[in-house]
Amino acid sequence: MEGQRYVVFLFLSVSYALKAEKILKAAGIVHKLIPVPRHISSDCGVCLRITEDRQQSVEGELRGKVEWDKAVLL
Amino acid sequence: MVQLMVGKEKGKEDRYMPVIIDARGLACPQPVIMAKKAIEENEQIIVQVDNDIAVENIRRLALKMACGFSVTEKEGGIREVALVRTGAIDETIEGRSFSAQEDELACAVVSGRETGPLVVVLSDNHMGRGNDVLGDILIRSFVHTLLQLKPLPDTVICYNAGVKLAVKDSAVIDDLQQLAKDGVDILVCGTCVNYFEIGDQVAAGHISNMYDIAETMAGAGRLLRP
């Protein structure tokens, strides 16, 4: 895991993040719900962290089901 | 004529003599506040302090304010901390502004080491009351954020429904395992895992008892309960 790069998906609301999490869980995509990193936003929000290699599949799963604000490489 | 020259030279030297601030015997955050005020008004200062917390806080101040920093040990546990302004005072470094609140926070964090262990109590698998869906998100964020605390907690105690956070299919099991790897002692209440019948699923920390839990809580310098 050392040196593994992550991407975080940011959402416009906590309920969108939760909805997206349910979709990823159902799709069996490993992910982690974490607080939005401080350098990205000072909001008290949560985002979904995935490994960089899963970005495409996550986007594929979420598209059309839940809107995301942006995906940021950590 | 000669005297005049000497006088002139002496005067010139005086301008480069550091201003000495006596902050001995003062508790955090007093020394760093005095140092900040003094370095804003002078090119060079020497702050006399008698504890490591003050030295550490002034070192951080030096970083923020782009000052040269050095410490000289003196007799009787006194440290002379020298600050020299090397550039214009810039309140923002990498776009971040430093507030008085942050100084106070630094104080609390640094002094915490001296007052006893930092103990985090996870007494539920939710954070706060009112809405369990939200409480679930919050506790996951909280446990993940513990990894970024400096210094790390000394001990994390899980009891009642909090033990559910330490089982193998918990959403924060990776965070708890990382905390354990980083040297945090994780106590998981044996009575509780027995009650929930999840004793065979505990995947972080070690099963503990009320003696250890009560002693650890009683001996804590600070106790966090989300």
The span from the CA of B5 to the CA of B16, in Å, is 17
Residue A1 forms part of a structural domain: no
| Predicted local confidence at residue B110, as pLDDT | 54
A34–chain B nearest CA distance, Å: 5
Q: What percent of chain B has pLDDT over 70?
A: 81
For B178-198, the pLDDT digits (tens) are 999 999 999 999 999 999 999
Sorted by where each begins, the domain ranges of chain B are 12-112, 116-224
Per-residue three-class SS string for chain A:
CCCCCEEEEECCCHHHHHHHHHHHHHHCCCCEEEECCCCCCCCCCEEEEEEHHHHHHHHHHHCCCCCCCEEEEC
Q: What tokens appear for B120 in the block?
A: 């985090």
What's the total number of domains in chain A? 1
- Chain B residues whose CB is inside 8 A of the A28 CB are none
- Chain B residues whose CB is inside 8 A of the A33 CB are 137, 140-141, 171
Q: Give Cβ neighbours of residue A65 (< 8 Å, ≥ 6 apart).
A: A19, A20, A23
CB B155 within 8 A of CB B174: no
Say if B147 is an interface residue toward chain A (CB within 8 Å): no
The span from the CA of B49 to the CA of B45, in Å, is 13
Q: Residue B150's pLDDT band (boundaries 50, 70, 90)?
A: confident
Q: Nearest by CB to B144, which of A14, A18, A35? A: A35
Q: CATH 3.40.50.1980: does it fit domain B12-112?
A: no
| Predicted local confidence at residue B105, as pLDDT | 53
| Predicted local confidence at residue B54, as pLDDT | 87
| Predicted local confidence at residue B3, as pLDDT | 45
Q: Is the pLDDT of residue B96 over 70?
A: no
For B112-127, the pLDDT digits (tens) are 445 789 999 999 999 9
For B25-49, the pLDDT digits (tens) are 888 788 888 999 999 888 899 999 9
Radius of gyration of chain B (CA): 25
Q: Is the pLDDT of residue B173 over 50?
A: yes
Residue A56 forms part of a structural domain: yes
Mean pLDDT, to the nearest integer, of A6-27? 94
For B53-86, the pLDDT digits (tens) are 888 888 888 888 888 899 999 888 899 999 998 8
Q: Residue A10's pLDDT band (boundaries 50, 70, 90)?
A: very high
- Mapped onto helix, strand or coil, the DSSP state of residue B185 is strand
CB B176 within 8 A of CB B156: yes
Residue A12 forms part of a structural domain: yes
Q: What percent of chain B has pLDDT over 90?
A: 59
CB B171 within 8 A of CB A31: no
Say if B99 is an interface residue toward chain A (CB within 8 Å): no
Say if B43 is an interface residue toward chain A (CB within 8 Å): no
Q: How do B118-122 and B96-97 pair as beta strands?
A: unpaired
Which of A8, A32, A39, A51 is the best residue to mutate to test the B interface, defined by the most B CB atoms within 10 Å of its own CB?
Answer: A32
CB B215 within 8 A of CB B179: no
Mean pLDDT, to the nearest integer, of B139-158? 95
Q: Residue B102's pLDDT band (boundaries 50, 70, 90)?
A: low
Q: Give Cβ neighbours of residue A70 (< 8 Å, ≥ 6 apart).
A: A9, A10
Q: Can you give the CATH number for the domain in which A23 is found?
A: 3.30.70
ipTM above 0.90, yes or no: no
Structural domain boundaries enclosing A37? 6-73
The span from the CA of B198 to the CA of B210, in Å, is 18
A15–chain B nearest CA distance, Å: 9
Residue B118 β-bridge partners? B222
Q: Is the pLDDT of residue B93 over 80?
A: no
The span from the CA of A60 to the CA of A63, in Å, is 5
B4: left (phi over 0), alpha (psi -120 to 50) or beta: alpha
A-B contacts at Cβ under 8 angstroms: 21
Q: What tokens appear for A60 in the block?
A: 């594929």
Average pLDDT, chain B: 84
Report which of B53, B102, B222 is spatially closest to residue A38, judged by C-alpha positions. B102
Class at the top of the CATH hierarchy for domain B116-224? alpha beta
| Predicted local confidence at residue B168, as pLDDT | 96
Q: Is pTM, for the whole model, over 0.95?
A: no
